[in-house]
Amino acid sequence: MSYTSDGKHMEEEVSQLDSTWESIFSNTAFAPPMLSQEERENLQKLTSQAAETLKSKNNLLEDSIVDVIAPQLACLIAMPLSSSQPQTGIQLELCQPLDRCKSGDTALKLCEVIGHAEEFSFDQKGSRFIQEKLETATNGEKDIIFQEIRPVVMNLIIDMFGNFVIQKYFDYGSLEQIRELADFLLGNVVNLTLHKYGCRVIQTALEVVDMDKRVSMAKELDGHVIQCSCDQHGNHVVSKIIECVPQELIDFIISSLSAEITFISAHPYGHHVIQTLLECCDEASDRLVMVRHILQDLFALSHDQYGNYIIQHILENGKPQERSAIIQILSGNVLKMSKHKFASNVIEKGLRLGTPQEQCHMVDEILTFTNECDSLQMMVYDQYGNYLVQTALEVSNTEQLVNMISRINHYLNVAKRFTYEPSFISMIEKLIQTGG
C-alpha cells in the first residue's frame, strides 16, 4: 500500500479521519499521515487483523492495550519493506520505544513497551522506566511484562540493570509472580549470594517470600556459611537470613559461625555477620557459647582492625553481665591498650559504659603512679591515650578529677608539644581556671 500526497484530496482526507484514528496518529511515534479512502480502509483491515492476532496469542491482553498496539503493528506491516520501493507519498516513521525512553519522552506508556520488555530491562534508562511504571501498573500490564522477561529471569538477576526489575517484581508483583521468581532462585542461592547483583535479589526476596521459601533458601547455604560470611557480597545475604528467619530454623548457621567466631569477627566482611548475629540471637545457650569464645580472644580482637568493633558492640548493646565480664578482663591493661589505635577505642567504650564502680576502678588505674611509671603522664603524651584521659575527666568522681587536674597541670607545657588534640589542652586549661 502506498501513501499519496495528492493536494486536491488532502483537506477531504483529513476531515474524514474519525476520532479513533486521529488518536492513533497523534502518537508521537508517527509522522502525521494523509491517507486516501482506500488506504485508510486497508489500514483499518490490517489493524483489525493485528488485534485478532494479539488476542489469540495472549488472552490476558486488555482491550485498551490492544487498541494501542494493533494500529502500530498495522502501520509497520503497511510500511515499504525496501528503500528501493517508490516513495510517492508521506512515509510513516516509527521511533522504537527504547529510543523514545532514552530521549526522555514523557508520553511513553508501559503498554507501548510490550514486545520490548526484555530490551528495556537490560538497559539503564529502560530498566528505570519499567521500575517506575510497575509501581502503578495494572495487574494485566504487570503480567504481560512478566511473561516477556520470564525466559531471561536468571540473566536479569545477575545483570547490572536487570536485577532492579526483578527486585521491583518482588516488591510489587502478585503472589504468583513472587513465588515463581523464588522458584528461580532455589537451587542457585549459593552462586547468587556470591554475585555482585544476585545477592541484592536474594536479600530482597528474603524480605517478602513465604517462610518456607526463606528456610529453603537458607538451607542451601549449609556447608557454605563461612565462605559466604567472608565474601564482600555474601555477608549481606547471611546477615539478612539471620534477621528474617527464626533462630531455631537456622541452627546450622549459628553453629558454623560460633565454631569460627574469632576468625570471622576479625574479618573485614565477616564481622558484620557476627554483629548481626549478636543483635538477633536471643537463645541464651547459643549466645553464651558465642560470647565465651569472644572473651577467650578478647585481647586479640580488641587490637584487631575489625575485631575491636565486635567488642565495642557487646559493650554497647550486650547484657550487663557481658559488659562487666569484658571490663573485668581489661582491668590491669588500661595503659597498654590506651596507646593502641584500635584497643584504645575498646577501653574508651568500657570507660563510658561501665557501672559507676567500674568507671571508678578504671580511672584509678589511669591515676596509677609509681617510681617507674606515671600512667597518666604517658597517656597524656600519647596520640591515642590523650582521648582516654579526656573521657576519664568526664566520668571521674570529684576526688579523682581534682587529682587528675593537679597532676596534668605540672606537665601541661610539655603536653602541649605532645598532644595530637588541641581541644584536650583547652579542656584542661578551662578546668584549671574553674577549679574543676
Q: What DSSP letter does each residue of 143-175 carry, written as one string?
A: HHHHHHHGGGHHHHHTSTTHHHHHHHHHHHS-H
- Quote the pTM value: 0.75
- pLDDT (tens digit per residue) in 334-361: 999 999 999 999 999 999 999 999 999 9
The CB-side HSE value for 32 (13 A sphere, CA atoms) comes to 6
Q: Per the domain annotation, does 19 fall within a domain? A: yes
Q: Per the domain annotation, does 322 fall within a domain? A: no
Domain that holds residue 434: 338-436
Q: Per the domain annotation, does 17 fall within a domain? A: yes
Q: Per the domain annotation, does 104 fall within a domain? A: no
Boundary-marking domain end, from 94, 116, 147: 94
Quick one: how far is CA 435 from the chain centroid?
52
354-368: buried (b, 16+ CB within 10 Å) or exposed (e) per residue? beeebbbebbebbbe
According to the model, what pLDDT value does residue 180 have?
Answer: 97
Q: Per the domain annotation, does 314 fall within a domain? A: no
According to the model, what pLDDT value does residue 76 have?
Answer: 65
Boundary-marking domain end, from 94, 123, 148: 94
According to the model, what pLDDT value does residue 320 have?
Answer: 94
Q: Per the domain annotation, does 420 fall within a domain? A: yes
Q: Per the domain annotation, does 349 fall within a domain? A: yes
According to the model, what pLDDT value does residue 14 have?
Answer: 40
Q: Per the domain annotation, does 409 fall within a domain? A: yes
Percent of the chain at pLDDT > 70 equals 80
Burial of 423 (0-12, 13-18, 19+ CB in 10 A): exposed
According to the model, what pLDDT value does residue 85 have?
Answer: 44
According to the model, what pLDDT value does residue 295 have?
Answer: 95
> From CA 435, how far away is CA 415, in angstroms rounded?
19
Q: How far is CA 336 from each of CA 278, 303, 404, rounded to the nearest angstrom?
A: 28, 11, 19
Which residues of the chain register pLDDT less than 70? 1-36, 39, 54, 56-61, 73-95, 371, 415-425, 432-436
Number of domains in the chain: 2
> From CA 181, how far away is CA 12, in angstroms rounded?
55
Q: What is the mean pLDDT of the chain?
A: 84
Boundary-marking domain end, from 94, 109, 139: 94
Phi then psi for residue 369, to 5 deg, are: -140, 120
According to the model, what pLDDT value does residue 79 have?
Answer: 60
According to the model, what pLDDT value does residue 418 have?
Answer: 62
Please count the helices (runs of H) and the strands (runs of E) in the chain: 31, 0
According to the model, what pLDDT value does residue 270 have?
Answer: 97
